[in-house]
Structures are given as C-alpha cells and as structure tokens.
C-alpha cells in the first residue's frame, strides 16, 4: 500500500518537475485551507432579508416537488403530521429521529399516531427528522448524521418529513458549512437534500421516488410572532 | 473495461443505422442543452463561477501531492483508510482484499466510472462476489451486459420498450402479465427489485464527484438515493475515486457544486448531494463500520505538467457530450470505452493509448461547442489537436492522407505554381461543370460525392481575375 | 485604412464572386483594398491535421506577405480565426516569430465583423426580395464572436426578411478534412442542417464561410431542393444579380 503511495506522489512531483514542496509553501497552503475563504457567492439568497430568504427557500423547495407546510409553533407539528398522513392516505405509523430536538413536540396530543424512535428499517413507510440547516438559494435541506439523526431515516422510507425552524434557514451552502464547523467534529454524513428522489434515466422523463423517498414534506415552524421563545435547534 | 475504440468507424456506422438509438439521441438533444441554458440564464454569476472553478482546479492540480497527503491525513483522522493504487490491477486488488476481509458475498454499487475503467464488476464476479448496480441506468445496462453510453445517464441509448423487454427477461419471478408500458412502472419495479439487494449487501461501493482535502471527505452527487443507500446500509463503504477529484476546502466544493448540476442536467442542485467522512461514529445508529478510499492513478499523474493537464479539471458533468453534434449522431458506444464525447476523445487516448483510441480525437469538426459549455473551461478541441500532432509525428495517419497533406503544403509554399494550378483546376472543373454547375460524382472525392453534390467552381480563380482587373485598371 | 484581402483558398478556387463582394464592401466602407499576390493558404489544413511544421512554414509565409497593412480581412471565420487565434498559439514557443504573429493577429478580421465593429458600418445599400435563413459558421461564432453583425447588416437589406434557423449554431458537418474522413457522420450532421433549413421555408440560406456553404449546397442539391445558397457577402454587396447561387448554372 505505501509503495503505491510513494509511487504516486513521486509521479506527481516528477510530472510537475519539482520535488516535495518546501516548508514555506506547505505552510502557506495549510493557511489557505485553514482560512477556507468563500469564493464568489451568488447574490440570489444573500441579497434578501430574513423574510425574503425564507420565502425563497419555500419557493425553491416547492419547485422541485417538495411540499411545504408552515405552522405557527412547534406545538402544531404533530397536528400537521397527522393531517399530512391522512391527506396522503398514508397509515399513521412513523419512525422519528431519536434526536432531542423532537422530544418536546406534543405527540401525546395525537395518540393515533404510532411512533417509534430510532433508525429506519426495511418496512418503514414514513419518517420524521429534524434538519441542521435549510439553504435558501436552492431550497435545499442540510441534514447531518449523529446519534439522534440516523441517515437511514432520510432514505429508506417512502415518505420523509423534515421539521425546519425558520431560524435554521440560511442563505447559502457556505453559511451551512460555517454552522457545521461551529458545531464540532465532522459527522459521518452530511446530506444536502433538494426535493424527493428522482430519475431521468428512462427517455429523459423525470420520475419521482427512484430509490429514495417519493415524497418530501417540509414542516416549517415559523414562530416569529412568539416573543421570548429562545429555544435554539 | 475492454476497448473497442479502434473500430470507431464501424461502431459509428452501427450507431447511425440504429433507429432506436437515433430516437434516443434526438430526445437527449431536445432535453439537456435547453435545460442547461435555462439554468445558466437563471444564475447571473455562472460565467464568473466558471473562471473560479477553473482556478480552483488548476491550483489543486499544481499542488496535488500536498492536497493528497492532507486528504489522507484527514481520512485517517476520521477513522477511514486510504489505499493508493497506481494501476487498475492494484485498485482491483485493494477492493478484493477489503471485500474478502469481511467475507463479502454481495456488493452494491453506486455509479462509478472509475469502477468501469478498471473492469471491477467482472473481476469481482470472477472472484465469487456478486456486484449489483443500483443506479437505474447502470442496473439496466448491467442486465443487458452493455457498457455505459454516457457519463451521467448510462442507459441514455435505450427507449423504454427495450428497458421493459430487459426487465421481463431478467425479473422472471414477477407476473408476466404485468404492464411495463410506462417509465413509472419500470422505475417502481427497479425500486422493488433492488431494495432487498441494498439491505443484503455486505459492501457498498460508490464513486466520488469530489474529494475534500480539508476534511478528508468524499462527495457524491446523485438524484436517485441509491448512492446513499449503498454507502449507509452495508458494513463497509468503499469510495472508488481518482487523484484529480480533489479540491482543497468545503467552500471550493460549494463553488464547483454550483457548476455541476446546472451543467449536467440543468438542475439547480441534485436531489442528493452527500458528503461522507469516515465510518460511523460512536453512538451512530447506522452507517458503515469501515470507510475505505481507493485512490486510483492509472495514468493521471503523468498528465500533470504537460499538454493535457487541463483535462484533469474535468468534473464529469457531461455538458460536452450533451452539446456535441458528433456524439448526437453516433452515441456513446461508438467511442468504444468508458468515456465518450469530447471529454472521452481527449481522456481515452491518455489512458489506453493513442494507437487504440486514434479515431476519437479525429472524429471532430472542432466546432468548439464543447469548450463553450465546459464548466471549468477545458480547451477540448485544442487537446484533440495535440493528439493529432502526436499521431502525425508518429506517422499514425493513413499514408494517402499524409501524402495529400504534404502535397498541399508543398504547393502552398510556392505561390506561382500554386496559383497556376488553382487556375487550371478552376478552369477545368468550371468547364466540366458548366451545364449543371455541380457534380454528382468526382474522381478522388468519393467521400464527398457519395452523399452530396459538389458545386462546380465559377471557372476562373479569384487571383487570375483580380490580376486581369488590375491590369485593365492600370492599363487603360 | 489600407486593408489587405485574405482571399482564402476556397474562395479563390470555387467562388471568386465572394472575393469581389468583399472588396466592394470594404471599399464602400472607405478602405483601400489590396490583394497580395503571393498569398495561398492560411495553413489550417496542416494545423488541424497535426502537421505543425508545415503549418508554421505556411504561417511564416503569411506573416511576411501581410506585413505592413492596417488590417487583414478574410471572408471566412475559419481562416480569420486561424490568423487571429491560432497563429499566436503556433508560435507561442518561438520568441523570434511570436511578436510578428501577435501583430498580425491583432490586425486580422472576419469580413462582416470587421465592417460592423471596426468600420462602423450599420447598413448596406443592397436590396434582395427574399426570405432567408442564416447558418452561424462555428469558427466565426465561437472563436471570433461573429453573431449579431451579419444579422445587423442583413436587417438593412431592402426586401429581405430573416427567419432564424433553429440550431443555427449547430455545426453543419464540414469541419475541413472531417467531411471526407468521417463521411457518414458528416452526412448525418449536414442532413440535420438541411432538415432545419427546409423547415424554415426560407428561399435562401446564407453563411459567412464557404466551406459550410459548399457542404450545405451540395446536400440540398443532392435532394433536388431549390433553396438558394449564397455567401452573406454577396447579398450585402448587392451582387445577387451578377452571380448565380452556389451550384446553379448561369
């Protein structure tokens, strides 16, 4: 293995007609990486105020066949879940991410919802997860894996519901990276999800639900009217 | 993968004569280019991002050894392993060794052109391991024992009737009376058939659109979700990738990601853009226990510092082939190997040799459309010309052609003789064609007149007429 | 302005009318036009075939012949592109010759873009009662940015209506040696072009490169079509009465 490594590195240096970079150059490159400066960022989302950014996120998400329901408070989330499942003619069984951010919703108010907490298994039809951030520029959800957010919830079930608080809506992917870096070590997986699963592999015709979820339902908690609600996701 | 690039002419003829392929190519032509155009129109910064994307790649390539070492250190720090493979053999061996170490029987695969390049599927099968393609297009061609015909839509050469026929022939346990008339039904069937495979797999192999040195991460850009199921469910995740996929930081990746989906399918962003870093963490409820990156060279490092370095900027978007009139005429299989269209015409000779792939850089009019849509501004026609220079230097062109070219160049450097001959030909051909002003056949010009008439010259050369006119002007 | 006409080998052999149209237009724009006698070819056939040595030798000849003019103008995007874009590339590693190549490149132009962009021409005096369509030759379009200029001048031709050609920017399949090296593929490309032209119901198709025009005309005529094929310069110079269309007898 290390023989291949030395061969490849030597081959690269030979082709570039130099030896290993000197210490000064390597330091400069490390600094470039550590600084991780943003390149040009499109103005599409950054030029907007908070409200505009949220509206952009919703519009872009709906454009790619995600559905978005705005609710006025976290307390309304279980009600929206029940409503959506009934409207889509889906059984009231769902698997919830075991993440603490979902603990405090009043699930007890919806006793007909059969909820399991954990990762997704083969037979699960519906999942509900939180997200890490929501990217306005393309209506993209940013989800990260962790003990409370197993990745299988995002891909195995046919229907994936995501709870987004408006405070999680950021303008750009770079904003998402910044939040991720502040949150600590890199997770195993970061999923940028833009609409439900799809394929165009047959005659260029877009069909939803190739292998991942056929339905992506975003529950946007917009509790801007509530003063003093300091809960951060 | 075994190459048939040397029989490009016959391959192309077969493609031209294939009515199903022609229908499929017409669909492609009416789809991708327009969608890309709309996506580009919608992002005012697109052109500026092309320049930035180009410079990110150029910077990385110039310091590739540094960034590879940084990438490796970060993969290891996050609990993963890196296997450096100089050759296809070494890459295959590395994958086999990993599979054997967990007694793997079934391996699911997300789309990986590197895996195609090294013929991984056949090798695994020979060694008693079953590879299962999960990208819908790749799955279809795996069933049909065909190679991919496009960089991102491997089954683009097929119409839905053929897919239906294949599914009927291969999914024998399903009800023969079922309808497979619609794409929807075909997708649903593939989803149902492949789901148990995802769950049963011991090892999942994905490619990588980008590798991020800053974090030791690999990024895949998909729409189906198969790549994610492939890399999450099995115990082992192997990333099959090559040296030049590296970018320095997450911000650099974001810039290139803005270019990729728009250039490929005209999407703002793909449905699933996934970054994976190492195996599952303590406390994770799912995810692989092992994370391996197989880094393939296979001739790429040799391109650095030379005429073809720019080709290493390629982010595998497929814009070039989507806009290429030659690809649109003959389809991807004509190119005879993994990579087709303009990027294939440049990359293939550098990976399998110009003797085998000689036709590819020649089957181009240099119309330049590929370069105009390349998100990282690779000068594709120029590099095809470099290949032609190498062929010329090695005398790989047909002798008749070289002779004609030499004669032309010899004459062009002798103006008096040149003008006399041109006048002679214009008079002779002008006279021969005086009645119809065109020829249905012309000796030595069969390549032309087989399919079109040759307009006759006007009968005098411009220079002879101009001289006469000048003489008249000054003479009178 | 003292302008040298770069005739191009195809114009010289097949259709001098185009050369005379170019002269007429340049003189109408106020230029003095000379035609250096010793010119032959721009060297593109050798260059595109990978014969760099011969391409350089021919190019060197061109540099010598066209020294000293204010501008060098060719009724062809591919030949003008050769001078303007590729000569500096050819001599990039030749410090003795490169400055001369760069000087020539800076002074070299495709005809119609020269008239509009450098001479400031906005209208022509010609008239031609036709519905025409226009094919954008690849080199002119992508190497030299020739797109709006011919449309602008055609718009000033009395009696002429322009119907845009779907796929106007798609290659016609000529590509120099390509059309005889890969005739099947070339045939497909020119057939597609023919189909688009026919669908416009235009009476004529124009372009700025004779290679494309010979290719397109040859295909149209093989199928017995009566669509006229002309170089855009002939139309702009008002020479449509003086010379029959390409491939049509007097």
CA distance A99 to chain B (A): 11
- pLDDT exceeds cutoff 70 at B476: no
Residue in C12, C43, C178 closest to B463 by CB: C12
- Interchain contact C22–B (C-beta under 8 A): no
Helix (H/G/I), strand (E/B), else coil: A71: strand
pTM for the predicted model, two decimal places: 0.96
The answer to whether C217 contacts chain B (CB < 8 Å) is yes
Q: Does B144 touch chain A (CB under 8 A)?
A: no
Which of C5, C42, C51, C78 to probe the B interface (max B CBs under 10 A)? C51
B297 lies within 8 A of chain C by CB: no
Closest-CA residue of A relative to B157 is A203
What parts of chain C have a pLDDT lower than 70? Answer: none
* pLDDT greater than 50 at residue A233: no
Does B462 touch chain C if contact means CB atoms closer than 8 Å?
yes
Say whether residue B450 is in contact with chain C using an 8 A CB cutoff.
yes
Residues in chain C: 250
Q: Do B463 and C7 touch (CB under 8 A)?
A: yes
User: Chains that contact A by 3+ CB pairs under 8 Å?
Assistant: B
Angle at B476 between CA B472 and CA C5, to 5 degrees: 35
Smallest Cα distance from C159 to chain B, Å: 27
Size of interface A-B (CB pairs under 8 A): 270
Q: Which residue of B has its CA nearest to C48?
A: B385
Lowest mean pLDDT among A220-229, B89-98, B376-385, B444-453: A220-229
A189, A190, A214, A215, best to mutate vs chain B, most B CBs in 10 Å: A189
The residue whose two tokens read 């079509």 is C225
In tens, the pLDDT along B406-421 reads: 999 999 999 999 999 9
Q: Where do the CATH 3.40.50.10420 domains begin and end in chain A?
A: 43-221
Q: Which residues contact A185 (CB under 8 A, 6 or more apart)?
A: none
Domain C127-236: assigned CATH number = 3.40.50.11810
Continuous segment of H or E residues that includes residue C160: strand C158-162
Residue of chain B minimizing CA distance to A192: B273
Of A17, A26, A195, the CB nearest to B66: A26
pLDDT of residue A226: 54
DSSP B334: G
Assess whether pLDDT exceeds 90 at residue A2: no
d(CA C103, nearest CA chain B) in Å: 22
**How far off is chain B from A62, nearest CA to CA, in Å?**
13
Q: Do A192 and B273 touch (CB under 8 A)?
A: yes
Count of residues making up chain B: 476
Q: Which chains would you list as touching B if contact means 3+ CB atom pairs under 8 Å?
A: A, C
B254 and A29 within 8 Å at the Cβ level: the answer is no
Task: Quote the minimal CA–CA distance from B109 to chain A in Å.
Answer: 13
A226 Cα to chain B: minimum distance (Å): 33
Of B321-325, B440-444, C72-76, C180-184, the one with minimum mean pLDDT is: B440-444
Query: Hey, are the CB atoms on C14 and B363 less than 8 Å from each other?
Result: no
What local confidence, expressed as pLDDT, does residue A232 receive? 47
Backbone dihedral angles phi then psi of residue A114, each to the nearest 5 degrees: -95, 110
Domains (range + CATH), chain B:
43-302 (3.40.50.10420), 407-475 (no CATH)
B217 pLDDT band, cuts 50/70/90, is very high
Structure tokens at A135: 């990217």
Average pLDDT of chain A is 94
Q: In this complex, which chains have at least 3 CB pairs below 8 Å with chain C?
A: B
Q: How many CB atoms lie under 10 A from the CB of residue C88?
A: 19
Distance from CA of A102 to the nearest CA of B (A): 17
Q: Quick: pLDDT tens for A62-121.
A: 999 999 999 999 999 999 999 999 999 999 999 999 999 999 899 998 889 999 999 999
Q: Within 10 A of B366 (CB to CB), how many other CB atoms are there?
A: 24
Q: With an 8 Å Cβ cutoff, is B419 touching chain C?
A: yes
Task: Give chain C positions within 8 Å (CB) of B450.
Answer: 183, 187
- Cα–Cα distance for residue pair B66/B367, rounded to 1 Å: 37
Q: At a CB cut-off of 8 Å and minimum separation 6, what does B398 contact? A: none
**B375 close to A (CB below 8 A):** no
**Interface probe, candidates B149, B228, B239, B278, chain A, greatest A C-beta count within 10 A:** B228
Q: Quote the pLDDT of residue C141.
A: 98
Q: Tell me the shortest Cα–Cα distance from A126 to chain B, in angstroms.
A: 16
Interface of B with A in 267-286 (CB under 8 A): 267-281, 283-286
With an 8 Å Cβ cutoff, are A199 and B224 in contact?
Answer: yes
Phi-psi group of C225: left, alpha or beta (phi > 0 → left; psi -120 to 50 → alpha; rest → beta): beta
- Show residues of chain B in contact with C175, CB under 8 Å: 364-367
Q: How far is B408 from chain C (nearest CA, A)?
A: 9
Burial class for B338, CB neighbours closer than 10 Å (0-12, 13-18, 19+): buried
Question: Which chain A residues contact residue B135 at CB under 8 A?
Answer: 201
Show residues of chain B in contact with C16, CB under 8 Å.
458, 460-462, 465-466
- For the question of an ipTM over 0.90, the answer is yes
Mean pLDDT of B158-171: 95
The bridge status of strand A114-117 relative to strand A140-144 is unpaired
Interchain contact B310–C (C-beta under 8 A): no
Just give the CATH number of A43-221: 3.40.50.10420
DSSP for B109-167 reads: E---HHHHHTTHHHHHHHTT-EEEE-SHHHHHHHHHT---SSSS-TTTT--HHHHHHHH
In chain B, residues with a C-beta closer than 8 Å to the C-beta of C244 are: 437
- On whether the CB atoms of residues C147 and C130 are closer than 8 A, the answer is no
Q: Are the CB atoms for B201 and B218 separated by under 8 Å?
A: no
Question: How far is residue C15 CA from its own chain's centroid?
Answer: 12
Q: How confident is the model at residue B442 (pLDDT cuts 50, 70, 90)?
A: confident
Over residues B221-249, the mean pLDDT reads 97
Residue B241 DSSP class: E
Judged by a CB distance cut-off of 8 A, whether residue B212 touches chain A is no
The pLDDT score that the predictor gives to residue B2 is 87
Sequence ranges of the domains in chain C:
2-118, 127-236
Between chains, do B447 and C248 touch, taking CB under 8 Å as contact?
no
DSSP per position, B161-179? HHHHHHHHHH-TTS-TT--
Closest CA to A232 of A176, A170, A166: A166
Distance from CA of A229 to the nearest CA of B (A): 30
Interchain touch C–A (≥3 Cβ pairs closer than 8 Å): no
Q: Could B451 and C58 be called an inter-chain contact, meaning their C-beta atoms sit closer than 8 Å?
A: no
Which residues fall within 8 angstroms of residue B416, CB to CB, at 6 or more apart?
none
Nearest alpha carbon to residue C220 among C234, C203, C233, C236: C203
**Could you give the CA distance from residue A164 to residue A219 in angstroms, rounded to a whole number?**
6
Which of B32, B306, B462 has the most C C-beta neighbours within 10 Å, making it the best mutation to test the interface with C?
Answer: B462
């Amino acid at each position: 293995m290390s023989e291949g490594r030395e061969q490849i590195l030597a081959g690269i240096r030979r082709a570039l007609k130099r030896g290993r970079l000197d210490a000064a150059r390597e330091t400069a490159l490390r600094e470039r990486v550590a600084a991780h400066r943003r390149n040009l960022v499109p103005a599409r989302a950054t030029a907007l105020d908070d409200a505009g950014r949220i509206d952009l996120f919703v519009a872009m998400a709906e454009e790619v066949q995600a559905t978005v329901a705005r609710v006025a408070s976290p307390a309304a989330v279980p009600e929206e879940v029940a409503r959506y499942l009934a409207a889509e003619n889906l059984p009231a069984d769902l698997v919830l991410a075991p993440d603490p951010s979902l603990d405090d919703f009043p699930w007890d108010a919806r006793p007909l919802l059969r909820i399991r907490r954990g990762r997704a298994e083969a037979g699960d039809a519906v999942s509900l997860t939180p997200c890490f951030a929501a990217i306005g520029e393309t209506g993209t959800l940013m989800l990260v894996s962790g003990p409370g957010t197993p990745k299988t919830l995002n891909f195995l079930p046919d229907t994936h519901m995501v709870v987004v608080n408006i405070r999680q809506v950021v303008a750009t992917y770079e904003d998402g990276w910044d939040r991720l870096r502040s949150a600590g070590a890199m997770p195993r997986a970061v999923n940028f999800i833009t609409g439900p699963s799809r394929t165009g592999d047959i005659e260029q015709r877009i069909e939803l639900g190739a292998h991942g979820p056929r339905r992506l339902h975003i529950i946007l908690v917009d509790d801007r009217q509530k003063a003093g609600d300091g809960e951060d996701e | 993968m075994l190459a048939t690039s040397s029989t490009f002419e016959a391959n192309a003829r077969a493609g031209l004569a294939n009515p199903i392929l022609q229908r499929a190519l017409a669909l492609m032509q009416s789809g991708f280019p327009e969608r890309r155009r709309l996506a580009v129109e919608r992002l005012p910064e697109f052109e500026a991002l092309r320049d930035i994307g180009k410079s990110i790649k150029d910077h990385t390539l110039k310091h590739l050894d540094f960034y590879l070492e940084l990438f490796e250190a970060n993969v290891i720090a996050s609990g993963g392993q890196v296997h450096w493979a100089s050759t296809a053999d070494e890459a295959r061996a590395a994958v086999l060794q990993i599979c054997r170490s967990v007694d793997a029987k079934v391996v699911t695969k997300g789309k990986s052109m590197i895996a195609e390049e090294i013929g991984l599927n056949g090798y695994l099968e020979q060694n008693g391991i079953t590879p299962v393609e999960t990208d819908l297009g790749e799955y279809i061609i795996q069933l049909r024992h065909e190679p991919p015909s496009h960089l991102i839509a491997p089954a683009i050469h097929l119409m839905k009737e053929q897919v239906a026929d294949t599914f009927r022939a291969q999914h024998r346990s399903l009800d023969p009376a079922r309808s497979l008339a619609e794409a929807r039904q075909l997708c649903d069937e593939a989803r149902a058939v492949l789901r148990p495979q995802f769950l049963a797999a011991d090892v999942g192999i994905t490619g990588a659109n980008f590798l991020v040195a800053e974090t030791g991460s690999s990024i895949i850009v998909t729409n189906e979700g198969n790549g994610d199921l492939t890399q999450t469910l099995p115990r082992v995740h192997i990333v099959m990738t090559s040296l030049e996929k590296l970018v320095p930081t997450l911000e650099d990746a974001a810039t290139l990601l803005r270019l990729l989906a728009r250039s490929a399918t005209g999407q703002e962003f793909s449905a699933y853009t996934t970054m994976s870093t190492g195996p599952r963490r303590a406390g994770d409820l799912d995810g692989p226990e092992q994370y391996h990156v197989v880094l393939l060279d296979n001739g790429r490092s040799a391109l650095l510092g030379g005429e073809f370095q720019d080709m290493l900027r390629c982010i595998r978007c497929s814009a070039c082939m989507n806009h290429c009139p030659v690809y649109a005429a003959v389809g991807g299989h004509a190119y005879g190997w993994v990579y087709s269209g303009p990027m294939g015409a440049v990359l293939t000779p550098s990976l399998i040799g110009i003797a085998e792939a000689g036709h590819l850089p020649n089957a181009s009019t240099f119309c330049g459309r590929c370069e105009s849509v390349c998100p990282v501004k690779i000068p594709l026609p120029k590099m095809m010309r470099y290949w032609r220079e190498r062929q010329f230097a090695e005398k790989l062109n047909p002798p008749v052609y070289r002779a004609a070219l030499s004669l032309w160049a010899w004459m062009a450097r002798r103006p008096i003789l040149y003008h006399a001959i041109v006048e002679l030909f214009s008079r002779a051909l002008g006279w021969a064609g005086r009645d119809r002003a065109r020829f249905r056949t012309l000796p030595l010009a069969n390549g032309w007149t087989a399919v079109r008439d040759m307009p006759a010259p006007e009968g005098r050369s411009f220079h002879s007429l101009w001289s006469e006119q000048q003489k008249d002007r000054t003479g009178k | 302005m003292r302008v040298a006409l770069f005739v191009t080998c195809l114009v010289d052999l097949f259709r001098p009318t185009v050369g005379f149209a170019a002269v007429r237009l340049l003189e109408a724009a106020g230029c003095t036009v000379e035609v250096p006698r010793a010119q032959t070819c721009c060297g593109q056939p050798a260059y595109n075939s990978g014969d760099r040595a011969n391409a350089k030798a021919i190019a060197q000849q061109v540099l010598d012949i066209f020294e000293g003019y204010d501008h060098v103008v060719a009724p062809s995007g591919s030949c003008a592109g050769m001078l303007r874009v590729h000569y500096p590339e050819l001599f990039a590693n030749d410090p003795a010759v490169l400055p001369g190549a760069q000087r020539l490149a800076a002074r070299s132009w495709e005809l119609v873009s020269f008239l509009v962009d450098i001479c400031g021409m906005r209208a022509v005096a010609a008239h031609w009662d036709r519905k025409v369509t226009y094919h954008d030759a690849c080199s002119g379009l992508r190497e030299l940015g020739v797109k709006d200029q011919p449309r602008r001048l055609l718009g000033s031709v009395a009696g002429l209506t322009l119907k845009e050609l779907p796929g106007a920017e798609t290659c016609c399949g000529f590509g120099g040696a390509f059309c005889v090296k890969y005739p099947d593929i070339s045939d497909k490309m020119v057939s597609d072009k023919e189909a688009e032209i026919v669908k416009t119901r235009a009476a004529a198709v124009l372009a700025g490169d004779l290679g494309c025009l010979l290719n397109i005309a040859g295909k149209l005529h093989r199928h017995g079509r009566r669509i006229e094929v002309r170089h855009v310069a002939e139309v702009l110079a008002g020479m449509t009465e003086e010379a029959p269309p390409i491939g049509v007898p007097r």
